[in-house]
A = this chain, B = another copy of it.
Amino acid sequence: MTGTWVAGPTNSIVDVDGLRVGHHTRTGNGWLTGTTVVVGPPEGMVGGVDVRGGGPGTRETDVLGLTTAQTPVHAVVLGGGSAFGLAAASGVADSLEEDGVGVEVTTPYGTMTVPIVPAAIVFDLGRGGDPKCRPDPGFGAAAYRAASTEPPAQGCVGAGTGSVAGAIKGGIGSASVVIDGAVTVAVITAVNAAGSAVDPANGELYGVRFGLPGEYDRLRAPATPELDRARAGGQVHPPSAHAPAGPAPLNTTIGVVATDAVLTRPQCTKLAAVVHDGMARALRPCHSMQDGDSVFALATGRGPSPDDGLFFSILAAGADCFARAVVNAMLAATSVTTPVGSWPSYLDLMPSAMEAKGQQ
């Protein structure tokens, strides 16, 4: 295969034609959480899911099963708030219905519109200071209203607002890839892992090596004093040193991989599964009993029907795209301090890891 992979025009999930993304973010006065929605075209999308963490919090995943009806998906919600935050999906469903988007159900007493809105959540309760400050249906409705085809904000917004990866501030990140000029694959992820995105050997983000040619040329291993300080502070550490203190369910990395290819439900399920490999490459460890790691796959079907070779590339590029989205989340995240904690961003902690703009 001589395939070429290049980033799409925005290097984000909205490079998949027909997708819109919206965030709703709330910080301060006890808040540090949010909700992100990926909205598809009105006709819906083919969807699949792979839940691989030991502490998942999900909604409407069974409808994506391999033996269920070919029900389309209309939006996917990623959000904070642990299990409580699943409530945000109700706000998205109500909003989609108002816009006439959903499965048209014909009954003897009329036709109804039932939007299918799978959802997954991360555990960020209490990081803003008040565990009661968490997304409700209004967060979903607000994220839906904010949805647009503009490249989504990344870092500490939406589902990534309260996210932490290891001991470093996490966030939401996105990336895209266009394969052979023919098909687009893209990811959005909220990185809230119990594990770390940083290689303890040299302070680099694990996912950088999966960048497209030239993509991360401005990144380099941080200077030794910065790395030593981060090691001493416990923000950079080997996985062997990372036993969570006490029970910590529902730390979680969640995401959506989307493509314009024509995929079946089983192919979407496979794509969601293989994309977890990108998570595995960018976060170490992951998929633990303390993580609820879940990935949804969406196919709009506006692009080509892949043959085996192209589907091979979609899977491989999708996994790398997830790793790149994790990198982009970590780079976009900013340091956050609340009444209960302080989480430095990767670049605040080790600014030498990125050369200043204009240098080369």
Residues in A lying within 8 Å of B, measured CB to CB: 51, 53-63, 65, 67-69, 71, 82-84, 86-87, 89-90, 93-94, 97, 103-110, 112, 114-117, 123, 125-127, 129, 131, 136-137, 245-250, 289-290, 292, 294, 340-341
* Minimum C-beta distance from A183 to chain B (A): 29
Chain B contacts for A56, CB-based, 8 A? 62-63, 65, 68
Q: Chain copies in the assembly? A: 2
Q: Which residue of B lies closest to A81 (CB)?
A: B114
Given contacts A90-B86, A289-B68, contact A131 B110 (CB under 8 A): yes
Provide the residues of chain B in CB contact with A93, threshold 8 Å: 83-84
User: Looking across the interface, which residue of chain B has its beta carbon closest to that of A87?
Assistant: B90
Residue among A83, A104, A289, A292 with the highest chain B CB neighbour number at 10 A:
A83
Q: Establish whether residues A340 and B109, one from each chain, have CB atoms under 8 Å apart when the complex forms.
A: yes
A51-B62, A55-B63, A58-B62 known; A114 vs B125 contact (CB < 8 Å):
yes
CB distance from A185 to the nearest CB of B (A): 24
Contacts of A89 in B (CB 8 A): 86
Q: Which residue of the partner chain, among B53, B60, B87, B97, contacts A137 with CB atoms under 8 Å?
A: B87
B126 touches A110 (CB 8 A): yes
Cα distance, A126 to B125, chains bound together (Å): 37
Q: State whether A69 touches B340 (Cβ < 8 A).
A: no
Q: How far is the CA of A69 from the CA of B19 in the complex (A)?
A: 34
From residue A220, how far is it (CB to closest CB) to chain B in Å? Answer: 32
Interface contact A109-B82, CB-CB below 8 Å: no
Min CB gap A212→B, angstroms: 33
B247 near A105: Cβ-Cβ < 8 Å: yes
With known contacts A61-B62, A112-B131, A54–B68 Cβ distance under 8 A? yes
A55 to chain B, nearest CB (A): 5
Closest to A338 in B: B109
Minimum CB distance partner of A90 in chain B: B87
Q: Pick 7 A–B contacts, CB within 8 A, sort by A.
A: A54-B67, A54-B68, A58-B60, A69-B289, A83-B116, A87-B90, A105-B249
In the complex, residue of chain B having the shortest beta-carbon distance to the beta carbon of A341: B109
A129, B108: Cα distance in complex, Å: 11
Report Cα–Cα, A117/B247, bound state, in Å: 19
Q: In whole angstroms, how far apart are the Cα atoms of A250 and B115 in the complex?
A: 12
- Residues of chain B within 8 A (CB-CB) of A112 are 82, 125-126, 131
In-complex Cβ contact of A54 among B59, B69, B107, B131 (8 A): B69
Contact at A82–B249, with CB atoms within 8 Å?
Answer: no
Query: Nearest Cβ distance between residue A123 and chain B, in whole angstroms?
Result: 8
- Could you tell me if B125 and A107 are in contact, using CB atoms closer than 8 angstroms? yes
Which chain B residues border A116 with CB–CB below 8 Å?
83
Shortest Cβ gap from A127 to chain B (Å): 7
Q: 14 additional contacts, CB 8 Å, given A107-B248, A108-B340?
A: A51-B65, A58-B59, A58-B62, A59-B86, A61-B62, A71-B249, A90-B137, A105-B125, A105-B250, A106-B248, A107-B125, A109-B127, A110-B340, A114-B249
